[in-house]
Chains A and B, each alone.
Chain A
Amino acid sequence: MKGEGYSPWVASLLILPALVGLVLVFFVPLGEMFARSVADPANYVKAVTSAPNIRSFVYTLWLVAVIALLTVVVAYHWAWLMSRASGWRLGALLFLVLVPFWSNLLVRVFSWTILLRDQGPVNNFLAMVLGGLRFELMGNSLGTIIGATQICLPFAVFPIYTSMKRIDRNLLLASNSMAASGFFFFRKVYLPLTVPGVVAATVFTVVLSVGFFITPSLLGDPFQLMVSQVILVQTTEMLDYGQASAMSVLLLLVTFVFLGVAGLFFPVFRELGLEEDKRVR
Chain B
Amino acid sequence: MSARLFRILSAALAVVTGLYFIVPTMVVFWISFTAATELTFPIRAYSVRWYERFFDSTQWAQATITSVLVAVVATSLVTVLGSAMAVGLARGRFKGKKLIVLSVLAPVLVPPVVIGLGMYVQALKLQIVGTFSVLVMAHAALCLPYVVLNVVTSLRTTDETTELAARSCGAHPIRAFVSATLPVIVPGLLGGAVLAFAVSWEETVISSFLATSRTQTLPVVILQQTSYDLDPTVAAAASIVTVISFAIAILFAASRNLTGTRLRKKKNELA
Residue positions of A touching B, CB distance < 8 A: 4-8, 10-15, 17-19, 21-23, 25-30, 32-33, 36, 74, 77-78, 81, 96-100, 102-108, 110-115, 119-121, 124, 150, 153, 182-183, 207, 210-211, 213-214, 217-218, 228, 231-232, 235, 241, 244-245, 248, 251-252, 255-256, 259, 268-269, 272-274, 276
Distance of A146 Cα from B204 Cα, bound (Å): 20
From DSSP, what is the main secondary structure of chain B's interface residues?
helix
**Which residues 225-240 of B have a CB within 8 angstroms of A?**
226-227, 230, 234-235, 238
Query: What residues of B have a CB within 8 angstroms of the CB of A27 in the complex?
Result: 103, 106
CB of B98 closer than 8 Å to a CB of A: yes
User: Which one, B20, B94, B153, contacts A150 given CB within 8 A?
Assistant: B20
Nearest-CB residue, chain A, relative to B156: A273
> Given the interface contacts A36-B121, A106-B204, A255-B111, does A218 sit within 8 Å of B92 by beta carbon?
no
> Given the interface contacts A25-B140, A228-B113, A231-B113, does A107 sit within 8 Å of B238 by beta carbon?
yes
Contact B118 A8 (CB under 8 A): no
CB of B189 closer than 8 Å to a CB of A: no
Contact A248 B113 (CB under 8 A): yes
Closest Cβ–Cβ distance, residue B147 to chain A (whole Å):
9
Contact A17 B121 (CB under 8 A): no
Contact A108 B122 (CB under 8 A): no
Contact A150 B24 (CB under 8 A): yes
Closest Cβ–Cβ distance, residue A241 to chain B (whole Å):
6
Residue positions of B touching A, CB distance < 8 A: 1, 3, 10, 13-14, 17-18, 20-25, 27-28, 31, 39-41, 78, 81-82, 84-85, 87-95, 97-98, 100-101, 103-115, 117-123, 125, 137-138, 140-141, 144, 148-149, 152-153, 156, 160, 164, 198, 201-202, 204-205, 209, 219, 222-223, 226-227, 230, 234-235, 238, 241-242, 245-246, 248-249
From DSSP, what is the main secondary structure of chain A's interface residues?
helix
User: Which one, B41, B82, B93, B114, contacts A5 given CB within 8 A?
Assistant: B93
Contact B24 A115 (CB under 8 A): yes
- Known interface pairs A19-B100, A74-B17, A105-B204; 14 further A-B residue pairs with C-beta atoms within 8 A, sorted by A's residue number: A5-B92, A7-B92, A11-B92, A15-B88, A22-B103, A30-B118, A74-B13, A97-B21, A102-B248, A106-B219, A107-B238, A231-B113, A248-B117, A274-B98
Distance of A255 Cα from B114 Cα, bound (Å): 11
User: Which one, A8, A102, A110, A244, contacts B92 given CB within 8 A?
Assistant: A8
Contact B110 A255 (CB under 8 A): yes
Contact A106 B109 (CB under 8 A): no
Contact A102 B141 (CB under 8 A): no
Distance of A254 Cα from B164 Cα, bound (Å): 45
Distance of A97 Cα from B14 Cα, bound (Å): 11
Contact B14 A11 (CB under 8 A): no
Query: What residues of B have a CB within 8 angstroms of the CB of A150 in the complex?
Result: 20-21, 24
Nearest-CB residue, chain A, relative to B237: A107
Contact A228 B149 (CB under 8 A): no
Query: What residues of A have a CB within 8 angstroms of the CB of B89 in the complex?
Result: 11, 15, 274
Contact B98 A276 (CB under 8 A): yes
Query: What residues of A have a CB within 8 angstroms of the CB of B149 in the complex?
Result: 272
Instruction: Please list 20 pairs of residues, one from A and one from B, whose beta carbons are closer than 8 Å in the complex, sorted by A's number.
Output: A4-B93, A5-B93, A17-B84, A21-B141, A25-B137, A25-B138, A26-B107, A27-B106, A30-B115, A99-B21, A106-B222, A111-B238, A150-B20, A182-B3, A207-B108, A211-B112, A217-B227, A228-B113, A244-B117, A274-B101
